[in-house]
Structure 1
Amino acid sequence: MAQPDLADLDAFTAVARARSFRGAAASRGVSASSLSDTVRRLEAALGVRLLNRTTRSVTPTEAGERLLARLTPALADVSLALDEVNAFRDSPIGVLKLNVPGAVSRIVLPDLIPRFLAAHPGIRVEVSVEEAFVDVLAAGFDAGARYDERLEKDMIAVPLAGSQRFVVVGSPAYFEKHGRPTHPREVLGHPCIRHRFPSGSSYAWEFEKDGEVVRVQPEGPLVTNSGELELAAAEAGLGLLATFEAFCADSIAAGKLETVLDDWLPPFSGPYLYYPSRRHMPAPLRAFVDFVKAERK
């Protein structure tokens, strides 16, 4: 029997852990069909089925489970051995896989990632954007970015950006027609543009002033998970929008949007880069953590 290719074994472990060709393909930046072909090639070489496939699920067979159990630590050792060579380079090489929410991808990373890659040309960064909280290790990522209220206690967390702030904005034409709310509860009398998360929920708009906290769940004509569509709708006068100040800063500067209730919206801590505590940190991740820490000094 011919020895399977190491890359094929690694591809199989990614699919088996994700229980999905599509999910594994997304995290690796390849097509689901190419992963399917790779696993078929591996099964043919070994002469045994490793995965049970249906239209809705992918699960390892008994043989697949046993192979996965042995391969996981073995491939980790191979990765560790190769990564230790990185310590002898002036700049490390490899892939850094990050999982971040939309706000971080739109506000923080556009400035950070180009400068990091300019400093480390041997590193390739792969960024997956999703709002759902995931197990970064199980999903094949090196690190994630989340806000402090969603961080697991056993994770190492490093501030990724400074404090941020939410604002409530509307277009000048909107305010001319509907007036300006002067208290958070008055928002309930205005049409609002809502953001919906993958879970189907929409966050409450939270305000705070002099120790008083007010949370409201406004309604409106548009609910979406697209920040760009939300911003365009607000500029068109469709309703009020609560969003990150940095996300709409250009629209405010251009006079397309104006803020209200500013004294009810204090700044809050920005996102954190988080990653599991482990004895050896991959060189690309170590380089990124060091870069982020230097940025925050």
Structure 2
Amino acid sequence: MNELPLVDLDAFAMVAHERSFRAAARKRGVSASSLSEAVRRLEERLGVRLLNRTTRSVTATEAGTRLLERLTAPLGEIASALDQVNNFRDSPIGTLRLNVPGIVAREILPPLVSRFLKTHPGITLEVMAEDGLVDVLAEGFDAGIRYEERIERDMIAIPVGPRVQRYITAAAPGYLDAHGVPGHPRDILEHTCIRHRFTHGVSLAWEFGNGEETITITPPACLIANTIDLEIGVAVAGLGIIRTFEEFLMPSIRNGDLVPILDAWTTEFSGPFLYYASRRHMPAPLRAFVDFLKVEQRQQAS
């Protein structure tokens, strides 16, 4: 039997692991048809079916399962070896895949990413923005960005972006003129509010603190959405009170469309962290991003 192309073996391993040509194609940044052709070539050369394909699923045959068991470790070692060579470049090449919350993608990453990519033009950055809890490694990401309470304890975490952020409360001037200005968080229970629902389906209660007292309420809502632009638009239209990240609301506050309320009950919390699994050989694009963030934090502190 002629030598088997490594690219076809790698394509088979990725599809078998993902149990989907489309999912494997997304992670590889190629077309599903190219992966299908690679697996077909491999099966023809081996003379055995490796994957059972239906319109809904892809599963490894017994032969495919045995092959995948033997391939996983060697392919991992090859990828690691190639990546170690990457470290000798002045600027590494490759793809860095990050999973981040919407607030980070919209308000924190743009200036950081711009500076990072100018410094490392050989790196392609893939960013998936979602607010739900994600197993970044299982989903094929190199690292994630989350807030401290959502980071697994066995992960390495380094600061990214501002070290303090705030949740503030606001409403349109017309709404406050018509319904009055709440003087205490409990007064909000007599108002109509605009609440956020995360992608995993949870709409969190509103928590307020003034340094001496903590109050948690679940206010009545005229809108519950997972799109911040819609939420702000409804608040600006005067339909209710909104509470969210300060960064989201400040443009509307500056131009007078919204007015901050309950300033004494603003909630402060630590900024986000980049987190990743401890590895003996860190991929070169991730190492470059970690080093870049460390320099950024030192410059902010100086």
The two structures have a TM-score, normalised by structure 2, of 0.90
1:239-278 aligned within 5 A: 239-278=240-279
* One-letter amino acid of the counterpart of residue 91, structure 1: S
Of residues 42-51 and 235-244 in structure 1, the stretch that sits farther from structure 2 once superposed is 42-51
Residues of 1 paired with 2:229 and 2:5: CA distance?
A: 43
Q: How many Å apart are 1:58 and its aligned residue? A: 3.3
- CA shift in 2, pair 1:27/1:246, >3 Å: farther
Any idea what SS the aligned residue of 1:137 has? coil
The aligned counterpart of 1:234 is 235
Is 1:189 the counterpart of 2:190? The answer is yes
Contact (CA 8 Å) 1:166, 1:245: kept in 2 or not?
yes
Residues of 2 paired with 1:266 and 1:251: CA distance?
A: 19
Is 1:18 the counterpart of 2:11? The answer is no
Q: How many Å apart are 1:280 and its aligned residue? A: 0.9
Q: How many Å apart are 1:4 and its aligned residue? A: 4.4
- CA shift in 2, pair 1:145/1:80, >3 Å: same
- CA shift in 2, pair 1:49/1:100, >3 Å: farther
Contact (CA 8 Å) 1:14, 1:140: kept in 2 or not?
no
The aligned counterpart of 1:168 is 169
CA deviation map 1:254-286 (0-9, x unaligned): 212221112112310111100000111111101
Contact (CA 8 Å) 1:27, 1:128: kept in 2 or not?
no
CA deviation map 1:229-256 (0-9, x unaligned): 1122222222212211112222221212
* One-letter amino acid of the counterpart of residue 77, structure 2: D
1:115-264 aligned within 5 A: 115-161=115-161, 162-264=163-265
CA deviation map 1:125-157 (0-9, x unaligned): 011122232222222211111111111111000
**Which structure has the larger Rg?**
2
Any idea what SS the aligned residue of 2:134 has? coil
Residues of 1 paired with 2:60 and 2:186: CA distance?
A: 53
Of residues 286-295 and 102-111 in structure 1, the stretch that sits farther from structure 2 once superposed is 102-111
Contact (CA 8 Å) 1:157, 1:274: kept in 2 or not?
yes
The aligned counterpart of 2:293 is 292
Percent of aligned pairs with the same residue? 60
Contact (CA 8 Å) 1:234, 1:240: kept in 2 or not?
yes
* One-letter amino acid of the counterpart of residue 278, structure 1: R
User: Where does structure 1 lack aligned partners over 5 or more consecutive residues?
Assistant: none
Contact (CA 8 Å) 1:145, 1:274: kept in 2 or not?
yes
Contact (CA 8 Å) 2:168, 2:267: kept in 1 or not?
no
Of residues 75-84 and 130-139 in structure 1, the stretch that sits farther from structure 2 once superposed is 130-139
Residues of 2 paired with 1:28 and 1:93: CA distance?
A: 15
Q: How many Å apart are 1:22 and its aligned residue? A: 3.8
* One-letter amino acid of the counterpart of residue 7, structure 1: V
User: Where does structure 2 lack aligned partners over 5 or more consecutive residues?
Assistant: none
Residues of 1 paired with 2:196 and 2:32: CA distance?
A: 30
* One-letter amino acid of the counterpart of residue 239, structure 1: G
Any idea what SS the aligned residue of 2:135 has? coil
Residues of 2 paired with 1:172 and 1:95: CA distance?
A: 47
What is the CA RMSD across the aligned residues, in angstroms?
2.1
- CA shift in 2, pair 1:105/1:12, >3 Å: farther
Residues of 2 paired with 1:31 and 1:236: CA distance?
A: 44
- CA shift in 2, pair 1:23/1:221, >3 Å: farther
The aligned counterpart of 1:76 is 76
Any idea what SS the aligned residue of 1:268 has? strand
Any idea what SS the aligned residue of 2:13 has? helix
Contact (CA 8 Å) 2:133, 2:200: kept in 1 or not?
no
The two structures have a TM-score, normalised by structure 1, of 0.91
Of residues 123-132 and 30-39 in structure 1, the stretch that sits farther from structure 2 once superposed is 30-39
Contact (CA 8 Å) 2:84, 2:281: kept in 1 or not?
no
- CA shift in 2, pair 1:98/1:261, >3 Å: same
Residues of 2 paired with 1:233 and 1:2: CA distance?
A: 65
Q: How many Å apart are 1:24 and its aligned residue? A: 3.2
Aligned length: 297
* One-letter amino acid of the counterpart of residue 13, structure 1: A
* One-letter amino acid of the counterpart of residue 244, structure 1: F
